[in-house]
Amino acid sequence: MPLYEYQCESCKKVHEVIQKFSDAPLSECPECRGPVKKLMSTNSFALQGTGWYTTDYKRKGSDSSSKKD
């Protein structure tokens, strides 16, 4: 399940909430009951190393221009 961040507009605290995609977004702060807004957070997922680009899989002679009819 995804982790969402909400910031309270009253007390300015940031809350992390695990919710299903089908769950309604949080509308009030769990601490002070003030209105909250959903934050856009960066993810920590990164594709690193070899094998993630098309250039890593190409072999010499595999192009359509190098094939003989």
Q: Which contiguous run of DSSP H or E holds residue 55?
A: helix 54-57
- Please report how many Cα atoms fall inside a 13 Å half-sphere around the Cα of residue 56, on the Cβ side: 6
- Can you give the pLDDT at residue 42? 73
pTM for the whole thing? 0.58
pLDDT at 1: 75
Provide the residue ranges of all domains of the chain, joining segments of one domain with +.
1-39
Render pLDDT for 3-28 as a digit per residue (tens, 0 to 9): 899 999 999 999 999 999 899 999 99
Are 41 and 5 within 8 A, CB to CB?
A: yes
The pLDDT tens digits for 32-69 are 999 999 998 777 777 777 766 666 666 665 555 555 54
Pairing of strands 3-8, 36-39: antiparallel
* Amino acid letter, 65: S
